[in-house]
Each structure stands twice: as structure tokens, then as C-alpha cells.
Amino acid sequence: MKIAVYPGSFDPITNGHMDIIKRASRIFDKLIVAVVRNPNKVSMFTVNERMDLIRKAVAGLPNVEIDHFEGLLVDFMRSKNARVIIKGLRAISDFEYEFQMALMNRKLDPNIETLFMMTNYKYSYLSSSVVKEIGRLGGCIGDLVPDEVVLDIQKKLRSLSSGGQDA
């Protein structure tokens, strides 16, 4: 069985992520969307909230699983019997960092390959940070995130801007 892992912060999931998930899930028998728990990075949504949002958004894709990990991606990959890392590329600005990560992961485990998928041009401007910023300022995020999670994300952003954790 060909298993791929799509790792990321997904803070929160966007239509750009969904596009990569749909396309990658057609190529592999199983796609594991893996939320990274990074203690050095401040996130707006907890790991559980991020996983719940992804779960709702991918409900129609039977070969997509949701998981999370902390530490080295290659260790997580081995624990899942997966050999392919999926990464999305938006612009040249993504390239340098992703290139370095791909080479480092291959050095850590030569059996693991990173596959890059070009963003759909419709989503090349889209990132989780943009969604958070637009939402926080009261803009419409309806076209930016999957329909199934628009309300959940709006609710969270509203609760933060009305004096929640984000102060």
C-alpha cells in the first residue's frame, strides 16, 4: 500500500491545503494529513481544534486520515510505514526553505522522498496567516476555507478578537 504524509501547521486548514489533499489522495492509497505540534511556534488553534477542522473538511475523502506528531517527521513517517512526504509549493518564496527541508529529510532517511505539488493558481495567494488576518479584521473568509469549517473558524476568530487568548 502506497502511503503518503502531508505535514503542516494547518492553523487553520485553507482551500489551498484542501486542493493539495484532494489531488494527493487520488495518487496514493492512503494520505495521512499530519498536524505538526511545534512548541516553538505560537498557533491560534490547538492541535485538537486543527485536527477537528481537517476531519470535517475531508469527510468525503475515504482514504484520508488525520494524525499529529511532534519531533522529527522522518520518525513519524517510519511509524506509519510511509515513504513519501507531500508538500505544496505556492511561490518561489516557499522554495528555498522546502528545498532545504527535503534534502535534510533525505539525509536523515534516504528511503524517504519528498514530492512537491504546485498550488492551483487560484490559491497561490492563500495561507493560514492571511485567513487569520482577514477573519480577525472582520473580512469574509467564505472563499478561503472549506465550507464545512467557515463557521467554526469565524467563531474562534471572533472569540479571540473580543478579548480571548489573542490579546
Q: Which residues bind ligand ADP (CB under 6 A)?
A: 8-10, 14, 16-17, 20, 87-88, 90, 94, 119, 123, 126-128
Q: Which of 90, 106, 124, 161 is catalytic?
A: 90
Q: Which of 41, 93, 107, 162 is catalytic?
A: 41
Let me know if 17 is a catalytic residue.
yes
- Signed CA dihedral, 56, 20, 33, 164: sign only: negative
Q: Which of 9, 127, 128, 156 is catalytic?
A: 128
Min dist. Cβ of residue 5 to ligand ADP (A): 11
Min dist. Cβ of residue 88 to ligand ADP (A): 2
Instruction: Give whichever of 65 and 94 is closer to ligand ADP, judged by the CB atom.
Output: 94
Instruction: Give whichever of 37 and 87 is closer to ligand ADP, judged by the CB atom.
Output: 87
Instruction: Give whichever of 41 and 107 is closer to ligand ADP, judged by the CB atom.
Output: 41
Min dist. Cβ of residue 162 to ligand ADP (A): 25
Task: Give the angle 21-26-30 at the CA atoms, nearest 5°.
Answer: 75
Let me know if 68 is a catalytic residue.
no
CA-atom Rg of the chain in angstroms: 16
Nearest to 2 by CA among 68, 86, 89: 86
- The grid coordinates of residue 47 equal 492541535
Let me know if 41 is a catalytic residue.
yes
In whole angstroms, what separates CA 101 from the centre of its chain? Answer: 16
Min dist. Cβ of residue 163 to ligand ADP (A): 26
DSSP per-residue codes, 12-34: T--HHHHHHHHHHHHHSSEEEEE
Instruction: Give whichever of 105 and 128 is closer to ligand ADP, judged by the CB atom.
Output: 128
What is d(CA 12, CA 153) in angstroms, rounded to the nearest whole number?
8
Could you tell me which residues come within 8 angstroms of residue 56 by beta carbon, excluding any fewer than 6 positions away? Answer: 146, 148, 149, 152
Give the residue numbers marked as catalytic: 17, 41, 90, 128
